[in-house]
Amino acid sequence: MESNATQTPSNPKPRREKVAMNGVDVPTLFATINAVGEQPELAKFQFRATNKWVSGTHSRSRIEGFSGAGGEHEQTQDFVYDGDHPPVLCGKGNAPTPVEFLLHAIAGCITAGIGNVASARGVALESVECTVEGDLDVQGLLGLSDSVRNGYQALRLSYKIKGDADEETLRKIVAQSQARSAVYDVLTNGVPVSVEVDAA
Amino acid sequence: MKRTDTIIIGGGQAGLAMSRCLTEQGIDHVVLERGRVAERWRSERWDSLRLLSPKWHSRLPGFHYRGADPDGFMTMPEVIAYFEQYALSFSAPIQEETTVLSVKRAPEGGYFVRTNQYDWHAPTVVIATGHCDVPFVPAMAAKLPSDVRQLVPSRYKNPSQLPPGGVLVVGASASGIQLAREIHCSGRPVTLAVGRHTRMPRRYRGRDITWWLETSGMLDERADRAFDLQSARRQPSLQLVGTPDNETIDLGVLQAQGIRLVGRVSDVDGSRVTFCDDLKQNIDAAERKLDRVLGNIDRFIDETLMDADVRDRRPAIEVANAPRELELRRAGISSVLWATGYRRQYPWLKVPVLNIRGEIIHDGGVTAAPGLYALGLNFLRTRKSSFIDGVGNDARVLAEHISQRFDRISIAA
């Protein structure tokens, strides 16, 4: 029977007390990192989505579940996202274009990381704002030029971050999040993509 | 599809306590039990086992021990009869032999519970499948040679199951120390691998330790005030045994009887098992914990001016140098008993409330999924949440939560 209040930490170094902050459950965050460290087989995740054509350039994705930590996981609710092209590019504009989702993906990923890293470092955040711009020359995707790439030529993220830490600390938090961002990694380093077709 | 207000999964102490509380609240419910009432007490316990706390310390909502031996320790047949009587006492609506196959959110709200009997729908589900769900065996067990007999406490009945020869018992909490002694007494030399453990005397200053822990308030320590709840929830069971003559089994007693103590198992490579050099460290850590607990009791006695015998702390345990490595064949060890604790598995739970270790994320038993609750887990709300005597308070609080939820739903409708 251990009284935790009087527990001597096994680690003699003074530890920063891990407390929930910025809406991040820091003790659980560290417990999760430790668990995966002890059991690397928990680290293998697979994310999945399905997509169905609706009409014209309009389609609908469902993101229903994923595997990881040795099991299948349901989402907390039904996540359904539409994609379309804008009228100026002959779509109906029912939803953002898929390339705009990439802007959402990279900003969402790095901002999530900022929330975690800041909380783990004990920095209370006041505000984090990001604007994302992506330059895209549509000559490529319209098939008008083979020398112009189909996708973005450049992405620019601009973060405004405020919190109870000095400028350098806040900059380091953003840099650390960028360094550990899955979307940043996949956009800058690429990933093998295979496309199978069943046309039966 | 059958419908009810609340589905309780598991017909053990937690499920029955919740059933009793919901009965009092007038909430329609069913208890789904994969076997019979108190199934694990029937089929996953060894023959000689008795409860670790005295018979009086088994109070449940609307029920308590009324026999002539409140200070004794229930045998397994007594435990089973106790829970059967409890279920009968309020006609608990139990569906036995009903295995839950899946729990899913229903599109219209609430949950679908698919079983091997009927399918159910209910706005509320209580997961009461218990802390001691499936034995945890470290992955390295798979590296032992096939001629070494491997066993977990939930499959162990008595020493006659074991082949002749020595036995390595891994884990020195309640199961490990009890089985080490029983197997040693059967004439099989025992080596006991000792990791993190909690030493506890059966009696202290004239009373059973349970009485002190209970009365001094230590068992009521709240989860929301625990220093490190994640670690507290993984705390091993107390080194206790329930016997008619109030015996204490500790590592000193076992060592004196000829059981060899070694450190935590670090790795297995075929017939070669290596141990950490941490036996003394683990024992010293347990001594410090014991000092803190007994110190709390002493302070409690001083503050309340309570009558108590003089301090009678058992001496600290001294250990000789332990081997760091054993070649099982050469050491004559033919079986390994993994008394390395339990883990929870919810492969049927299709609601996203599990953490990376597969444990239910909850706040005092309330999950983030509306209407989904957990009960009976270690340190769910207090230090005694997984005890027979502790689950009742949690069940009362959660039943109240459920009842208020129904009040809100009916107002909204």
pLDDT of B412 > 80? The answer is no
ipTM topping 0.90: no
> Span B339-352, mean pLDDT?
94
Rg of chain A (C-alpha set):
22
Do residues B142 and B127 both lie within one domain? no
Structural domain that includes position B314:
134-338
B338, B364, B391 — which closes off a domain?
Answer: B338
Nearest residue in B to A18, CA atom: B228
CA geometry: angle A127, A132, A136, nearest 5 deg: 175
The 3-class SS string of chain B reads: CEECCEEEECCCHHHHHHHHHHHHHCCCEEEECCCCCCHHHHHCCCCCCECCCCCCCCCECCECCCCCCCCCCCEHHHHHHHHHHHHHHCCCCEECCCCEEEEEECCCCCEEEEECCCEEEECEEEECCCCCCEECCCHHHHHCCCCCEEECCCCCCCHHHCCCCEEEEECCCHHHHHHHHHHHHCCCCEEEECCCCEECCCEECCEEHHHHHHHCCHHHCEHHHCCCHHHHHCCCCEECCCCCCCCCCCHHHHHHCCCEEECCEEEEECCEEEECCCHHHHHHHHHHHHHHHHHHHHHHHHHHCCCCCCCCCCCCCCCCCCCCEEECCCCCEEEEEECCCEECCCCCEECCCECCCCCECCECCECCCCCEEECCCCCCCECCCCCCCCHHHHHHHHHHHHHHHHHHHHHHC
Chain A contact present for B231, CB below 8 A: yes
- Decide if A1 and B351 are in contact by the 8 Å CB cutoff: no
Residue A35: which of B238, B356, B361 has the nearest Cβ?
Answer: B356
Do residues B113 and B140 both lie within one domain? no
Residue B292: which of A6, A28, A32 has the nearest Cβ?
Answer: A6
Closest CA to B334 of B178, B137, B187, B139: B187
**C-alpha A90: how far from its chain's center?**
30
Q: Which residues of A fall within a CB distance of 8 Å from B383?
A: 1
Quote the CA–CA distance of B318 and B165 in Å, as a whole number.
Answer: 27
Do residues B264 and B180 both lie within one domain? yes
- Decide if B231 and A3 are in contact by the 8 Å CB cutoff: no
> Span B163-191, mean pLDDT?
97
Do residues B62 and B168 both lie within one domain? no
CB atoms within 10 A of CB B374: 26
> Span B8-28, mean pLDDT?
97
pLDDT of A102 > 60? The answer is yes
What is the per-residue pLDDT across B54-80, written as a single tens digit (0 to 9) for each? 999 999 999 999 999 999 999 999 999
Do residues B112 and B239 both lie within one domain? no
B338, B353, B371 — which closes off a domain?
Answer: B338
Contact B249, B406 (CB under 8 A): no
Domain A97-189 has CATH 1.10.1740.10: no
Quote the CA–CA distance of B274 and B327 in Å, as a whole number.
Answer: 9
B338, B360, B390 — which closes off a domain?
Answer: B338
Contact B308, B212 (CB under 8 A): no
Do residues B168 and B113 both lie within one domain? no
Residue B352: which of A27, A31, A74 has the nearest Cβ?
Answer: A74
What's B289's domain CATH number? Answer: 3.50.50.60
What is the per-residue pLDDT across A120-152, written as a single tens digit (0 to 9) for each? 999 999 999 999 999 999 999 999 999 999 999
pTM of the entire predicted model: 0.87
Domain count, chain B: 2
- Decide if A71 and B350 are in contact by the 8 Å CB cutoff: no
- Token couple for B14: 């937690």
The lowest-confidence range among A8-17, B99-108, B299-308 is A8-17
For chain A, the domains span 44-96, 97-189
- Decide if B227 and A27 are in contact by the 8 Å CB cutoff: no
Do residues B54 and B198 both lie within one domain? no
What is the per-residue pLDDT across B266-287, written as a single tens digit (0 to 9) for each? 999 999 999 999 999 999 999 9
Residues 6+ apart with CB under 8 A from A74: A64, A65, B104, B105, B350, B351, B352
Q: Which residues of B fall within a CB distance of 8 Å from A76?
A: 352, 368-369
CB burial readout B203-230, b (16+ within 10 A) else e: bbbebbbbbbbbebebbebebeebeebb
Do residues B144 and B128 both lie within one domain? no
Nearest residue in A to B173, CA atom: A1
Contact B204, B312 (CB under 8 A): yes
The rounded percent of chain A whose pLDDT value lies above 70 is 92
Do residues B191 and B269 both lie within one domain? yes
Do residues B284 and B154 both lie within one domain? yes
Q: For chains A and B, what is the number of CB pairs under 8 angstroms?
A: 70
Q: Which residues of B fall within a CB distance of 8 Å from A75?
A: 352
Closest CA to A142 of A80, A85, A75: A85
Residue B200: which of A1, A10, A32 has the nearest Cβ?
Answer: A1
